[in-house]
Chains A and B, each alone.
Chain A
């Protein structure tokens, strides 16, 4: 790699640490690999890569190349070959204060510290203006006005406001930020929309055209913006939501945003609908379900009735809690002024459990209570290791993000932090632990079918030639996801234990640590985790978020999820994940709407649905060319099925088969 870098990157490699260069280069290389067919082609392109130090981010902006479209209402251009060197972790996965940006001009931000940066942004706008002037873009007069406005005044129309959001968003990507959320756009854009409608310079139809182009514009660099997997861009738009007087906020834009994505049928950007059992219009839920019914995997439902009180209890100010958005997947965060980093890593509940099974002398006559006690000891050690990892994190100097974050005008966000500076982790393996404990209780203690040692030996051998044990362990009625007191109490006991341990943690900004029961890592973490006493074999994927591996009734899973305790530090995204057969919603539409409406009242935390049939998926796996536009929900995002690695395709197929009762 060093050779390639020397050859293709015209940078002076000093004797200082070149690892960040290599890592940054690798990242850019891997992304461009998605775009070009051959390695040769990719490497040729990569000759043009230029990397910049984070302190000199203005130089990067100054040197950005600009391209413009001709058939788009907006201009949006990312020079994918220019990126900052990642010497430290770049703060990402947040939503900046677009509302403030709409109401302020670039000149208003200027101070002694950021002059070079502001100048570079103005220069970038000038460069785009020049390109657009020379282009055949049919909206160029309007676009020029919109761009000029960014420099000099607040946004005056919906159209110019949207262009402004896109401009600042484009620079976020340009400067190395990933998983950039868009915020509550129906709320932020409301006054501009209403004013334009009143002035008769806009109709609902025009607005739909604008939003269509807005979506397509954000979707444009799909390959570059995608993080780990294609589709994982984190471009999330938050719609609707409870007000602090307990009324429900929504407007015409809420509907238009959903209608437009429903018609466009693209997997990214994605939308999230904040729901509440108080005064939410039924036709909004109906529209959302119709959108989900198309199979694009969104909107995800986020239940304000459950989430907001948890945010307030945790310590967010009331007005901020009511204004929450989510990070790329589901993790509730406060927009505008936060450094909340909610998806730093994944904790694996099963690792300490299996470690216990491996280390302890299982010949001893332990009671089930003692086993649980031992597990929590191992879990505590595991959490302490997590804390050590978190403490080592350094954040990259970030003048651009500081500019966009209220309160960070004078000192860099990476040093001083923002108003909120909490960390968050996701989790996997809890279902495996709960089911393992229940199995030990049933088969070792109650029924005495096996000894613990016998089970553990089979487990250590990956159940080799002991499929009889796998069948027994997997086919129990009582398991994670079942609406049963024992299971729910056990689950809450374990998360409660972690909650207590986490309450001792503070990061260097004095921020706290939260966790949730969903995670993107149900495959990658599982690949590093050996077999478990729920009958799961080595490397076999974990349960996806809050779901079951059998075809339980939807109401049962919702009741289970709603009885889990999300208080304290436990609210970092808790999504119930359903597979729904395509004609199921259509055949039972009204009853399905009742189900959603009543489930909000029952109190799920979040819910997402994948509408798909195993038959289509199996065909699409065999003949990807025949299904180029088939979209599926993966973890917290939607993607084209054809773009997924085979193991992810397989997990989705298996789940669809189980849902249809075919396994």
Chain B
């Protein structure tokens, strides 16, 4: 299993205190991605502060399990493990034996996904995952395809499948002008949220904290042309709250 990082004491990836595993490889290409080292499915060389290194490390499921269980005592108050990425659902066949073992040990599991993967993968994962943390990015079919390379119809089908089985969903909306933050997309998001009511919605402005990662990979990070103001983000919060949805502005 190729991972880039195991982040213990993770407080922003689901309920309680968690350990987040970052799996390497994604089928989308969002220009604002905060984890550019997780897009390629291969190991990648990088140079940071003149020191060479490699993004990506092969670990066995046993090793992963051991790391996850190290903080087991901290999971007592609702925490657990979160699989993130990249797109973790693309690795689900490889990951499944571990999910099975963790389920047996009653470890709470979350998955952070953009959900544009085959329906088969969703069906596998539904047996194990306690909470889905799902991105809402671009809901227009053409723009989604054009800008991030995603299939929105597949996404909608998957949403349908998940909501038929569980309400344990947190939606995450990265806001960036003009891609996700534009009038048309926001309207679509509101319509969508009216139909699919999650536990919570987390909204956040994309940030440039990943700049040094882009540089280390010799890639350019997208320049944010127009910042989203505090008032604008507050307005979105208010609009979402109108649907009786718990909504939170995140600052990570």
Task: Determine whether the beta carbon of A601 is less than 8 Å from that of B73.
Answer: yes
A548-564 residues with Cβ-Cβ distance < 8 A to B are 553-556, 559
Which A residues are in CB contact (< 8 Å) with B51? Answer: 471, 475
Of residues B8, B74, B76, B251, which shows the largest number of chain A Cβ atoms within 10 Å of its Cβ?
A: B74
In the assembled complex, the CB of A582 is this many whole angstroms from the nearest CB of chain B, namely 13
**A594 interface hit (Cβ, 8 Å):** yes
Task: Determine whether the beta carbon of A556 is less than 8 Å from that of B8.
Answer: yes
In the assembled complex, the CB of A611 is this many whole angstroms from the nearest CB of chain B, namely 16
Task: Determine whether the beta carbon of A555 is less than 8 Å from that of B17.
Answer: yes
**Neighbour of A594 across the interface among B8, B50, B70, B77, CB < 8 A:** B77
Interface string of A472-487 (1 = CB under 8 A from B): 0001000000010000
Task: Determine whether the beta carbon of A559 is less than 8 Å from that of B71.
Answer: yes
Give the interface SS of chain A, mostly helix, strand, loop or mixed. helix
**A363 interface hit (Cβ, 8 Å):** no
Within the assembled complex, what's the spacing in Å between the Cα atoms of A591 and B16? 6
Task: Determine whether the beta carbon of A554 is less than 8 Å from that of B71.
Answer: no
Task: Determine whether the beta carbon of B50 is less than 8 Å from that of A471.
Answer: yes
Task: Determine whether the beta carbon of A598 is less than 8 Å from that of B76.
Answer: yes
Which A residues are in CB contact (< 8 Å) with B79? Answer: 594
Task: Determine whether the beta carbon of A595 is less than 8 Å from that of B74.
Answer: yes
Q: List the A residue with the shortest CB-CB distance to B15.
A: A591
Task: Determine whether the beta carbon of A553 is less than 8 Å from that of B77.
Answer: no
Interface size on A, residues (CB 8 A): 17
**A587 interface hit (Cβ, 8 Å):** yes
Known: A591-B16, A595-B17. A602 touches B73 (CB 8 A): yes
Task: Determine whether the beta carbon of A591 is less than 8 Å from that of B17.
Answer: yes
Q: List the B residue with the shortest CB-CB distance to A471.
A: B51
In the assembled complex, the CB of B110 is this many whole angstroms from the nearest CB of chain A, namely 14
In the assembled complex, the CB of B250 is this many whole angstroms from the nearest CB of chain A, namely 9
Which B residues are in CB contact (< 8 Å) with A555? Answer: 8-9, 17, 71, 74
Within the assembled complex, what's the spacing in Å between the Cα atoms of A598 and B9? 12
**B7 interface hit (Cβ, 8 Å):** yes
Task: Determine whether the beta carbon of B70 is less than 8 Å from that of A595.
Answer: no
Which A residues are in CB contact (< 8 Å) with B11? Answer: 588, 591
**Neighbour of A556 across the interface among B9, B16, B50, B73, CB < 8 A:** B9
In the assembled complex, the CB of B48 is this many whole angstroms from the nearest CB of chain A, namely 10
Of residues B16, B71, B251, which shows the largest number of chain A Cβ atoms within 10 Å of its Cβ?
A: B71
Task: Determine whether the beta carbon of B9 is less than 8 Å from that of A595.
Answer: yes
**Neighbour of B73 across the interface among A475, A587, A598, CB < 8 A:** A598
Task: Determine whether the beta carbon of B7 is less than 8 Å from that of A553.
Answer: yes
In the assembled complex, the CB of B212 is this many whole angstroms from the nearest CB of chain A, namely 9
In the assembled complex, the CB of A391 is this many whole angstroms from the nearest CB of chain B, namely 44
Which A residues are in CB contact (< 8 Å) with B10? Answer: 553
Which B residues are in CB contact (< 8 Å) with A601? Answer: 73
Which A residues are in CB contact (< 8 Å) with B16? Answer: 591, 594
Within the assembled complex, what's the spacing in Å between the Cα atoms of A595 and B8? 12
Which B residues are in CB contact (< 8 Å) with A554? Answer: 9
Within the assembled complex, what's the spacing in Å between the Cα atoms of A602 and B70? 11
Which B residues are in CB contact (< 8 Å) with A602? Answer: 73-74
Q: List the A residue with the shortest CB-CB distance to B48.
A: A475
Interface string of B65-109 (1 = CB under 8 A from A): 000001101101101000000000000000000000000000000
Which A residues are in CB contact (< 8 Å) with B77? Answer: 591, 594, 598
Task: Determine whether the beta carbon of A553 is less than 8 Å from that of B50.
Answer: no
In the assembled complex, the CB of A1 is this many whole angstroms from the nearest CB of chain B, namely 49
**Neighbour of A553 across the interface among B8, B49, B73, B76, CB < 8 A:** B8
B165-212 residues with Cβ-Cβ distance < 8 A to A are none
Interface string of B36-78 (1 = CB under 8 A from A): 0000000000000111000000000000000000110110110
Which A residues are in CB contact (< 8 Å) with B50? Answer: 471
Which A residues are in CB contact (< 8 Å) with B71? Answer: 555, 559
B4-20 residues with Cβ-Cβ distance < 8 A to A are 7-11, 16-17
Which B residues are in CB contact (< 8 Å) with A483? Answer: 70
Q: List the B residue with the shortest CB-CB distance to A555.
A: B9
**Neighbour of A559 across the interface among B7, B70, B76, B251, CB < 8 A:** B70
Question: Can you name 25 A-B residue pairings with CB atoms under 8 Å?
Answer: A471-B50, A471-B51, A483-B70, A553-B7, A553-B10, A555-B8, A555-B9, A555-B71, A555-B74, A556-B8, A556-B70, A583-B251, A588-B11, A591-B11, A591-B16, A591-B77, A594-B16, A594-B76, A594-B77, A595-B9, A595-B17, A595-B74, A598-B73, A598-B76, A601-B73
Q: A591-B77, A598-B17 are in contact. List 7 more A-B contacts (CB 8 A).
A: A553-B9, A554-B9, A555-B71, A555-B74, A556-B9, A559-B71, A598-B77
Closest 9 pairs between A and B when the two form their complex, measured CB to CB: A553-B8, A553-B9, A555-B9, A594-B77, A588-B11, A591-B11, A554-B9, A555-B71, A555-B8
Residues on B close to A: CB < 8 A?
7-11, 16-17, 49-51, 70-71, 73-74, 76-77, 79, 251
